[in-house]
Amino acid sequence: MVLFTGVVVAHSINLLETGPDVYRSVQLVGTLLHVTRYGFVAVTLFVLVLSMRGKTMNPVQFWRRRFGLIVGPYLVWTVIYTVTDHLVIAGERFPSPGEFFRELGMSTIAGTGKYQLYFLLISMQIYLLFPVISWIIDRTAHHPWLVLTVAAAVQILVFVTYQWLPRPHGQVWNQVYEHAWKALPMYTLFVAIGALTAVHLDRVQAWLRAHLVPVLIACAAGTAISVSVYLAMTGPGDVPWQATTPWDPPLLLWLVSGVVMLWLLAMGWDALRRSGRRVGAAAVSYATIRAFGVFAVHPLVLDVLIRVGFFDALHSWFPQSAGVRSVILVVVVLAVSLLIVDLLLRTPVSRWFVARDRVPLTKNGSVS
């Protein structure tokens, strides 16, 4: 829920025009919100490993169950965005049938139907390789630090390759390079973190509770280093693309720190829940059911708001306050997205759009 909200925030503020006085700060927020993609991978592996413990299911059974949850929505939203990008975005002419289907085919393969759909492509890779990942984790369960060390080495190697090494030559290698950041090697460390946390859940949580202050200090230090590197690479109104990439090696300190702090937040909330205090329980339940749908639909909401002039209106209402514009935009996008998702949840095809079973219109389960 928190991660998908972060995705909405990142995409919203990145579309707002900002002056040179706040551009650097806005880009810093967007850069720090890259943690959403890495946190998403860690959480996905954690949930998968935890849900499969003690169960016997062959790979085919597993794939049939998991792919059925995600392939349908992925295809539906890829088609929707391939159409709406030409209908809603100003200046995007609708292509000929041949061009449209070529575009649709490439978008489906590469996860480029819209800028957030690569998350689902990563999910499919996790599902595809989960039997192998599970096999590795089972056989290395007594050597978690070795697994984390190897995973961190792969993670750093991929980051260094993308951030600092020359781009490969040749059309084929260029195409591979263009899309390889959506492949699991880019997220190796977070695959390991999610899976190992699930396997050693009790030990991990006990250790975090016992070392809470040192862990928070380490996370604060890691965050400070990543932010300091960003500030050293940028200036007021001057933010080179290298400073905002999601694979900048110094950013890795924040990415790990951010995931750990989110986990600590979840632990704190769970402790309150277990103590009998239902702090935000209804809100969490409501948001969890709708999180995927908001993730899927929010770019369309943003496109429509741009087309109808809402962005221009924000600038005219609050010309000197980028912060107020950002907050209002995020609130409006979330509210409209939730409304659309609630409507979709009441339809017989809800699973195809929001990956959730239909919600009845009345409390007794009847639909009127």
Asked whether the beta carbons of 154 and 148 are under 8 A apart, the reply is: no
180 burial (CB, 10 Å; 0-12 / 13-18 / 19+) is: middle
Residue-level pLDDT at 364: 53
Query: pLDDT tens digit string along 87-131?
Result: 998 787 888 899 999 999 999 999 999 999 999 999 999 999 999
CB burial readout 241-276, b (16+ within 10 A) else e: eebbbbbbbbbbbbbbbbbbbbbbeeeeeeeeeeee
**Length of the chain in terms of residues written:** 368
170 pLDDT more than 90? no
Residue-level pLDDT at 367: 42
Residue-level pLDDT at 362: 63
CA dist., res. 262 & res. 216, Å (int): 11
What are 238's strand-pairing partners? 235
CA dist., res. 328 & res. 232, Å (int): 30
The answer to which of 159-163, 212-216, 355-359 has the lowest mean pLDDT is: 355-359
Residue-level pLDDT at 58: 86
CA dist., res. 115 & res. 78, Å (int): 10
What are 235's strand-pairing partners? 238
**Between residues 172 and 89, the one the model is more confident about:** 89
SS3 198: helix
Residue-level pLDDT at 18: 73
State the pTM of this model.
0.91
Task: Give 74-116 as a 3 state SS string.
Answer: HHHHHHHHHHHHHHHCCCCCCCCHHHHHHHHHHHHHHCCCCCC
21 pLDDT more than 80? no
For residue 288, give every residue at least 6 positions away whose Cβ sits within 8 Å of its Cβ, in sequence order, or none.
Answer: 1
The rounded percent of the chain whose pLDDT value lies above 70 is 97
Asked whether the beta carbons of 35 and 2 are under 8 A apart, the reply is: no
The rounded percent of the chain whose pLDDT value lies above 90 is 68
Residue-level pLDDT at 366: 44
* Token duo for residue 93: 């002419």
CA dist., res. 8 & res. 248, Å (int): 22
Query: Mean pLDDT of all residues in the chain?
Result: 90
Residue-level pLDDT at 363: 57
CA dist., res. 188 & res. 41, Å (int): 9
Domain boundaries of the chain, sorted by first residue: 1-18+280-351, 34-199, 201-279
* Token duo for residue 270: 């769970």
Residue-level pLDDT at 130: 94
CA dist., res. 7 & res. 294, Å (int): 10
Residue 185 per-residue DSSP state: G
Residue-level pLDDT at 54: 77
Residue-level pLDDT at 368: 36
Distance set, CA 188 to CA 137, 154, 201, 264, 352 (Å)? 13, 7, 19, 21, 29
Query: pLDDT tens digit string along 254-309?
Result: 999 999 999 999 898 888 877 777 766 777 788 889 999 999 999 999 999 999 99
Query: Binning pLDDT at 50, 70 and 90, where does residue 168 land?
Result: confident
Query: pLDDT tens digit string along 46-85?
Result: 999 998 887 888 889 899 888 888 999 999 999 999 999 9
Residue-level pLDDT at 16: 82
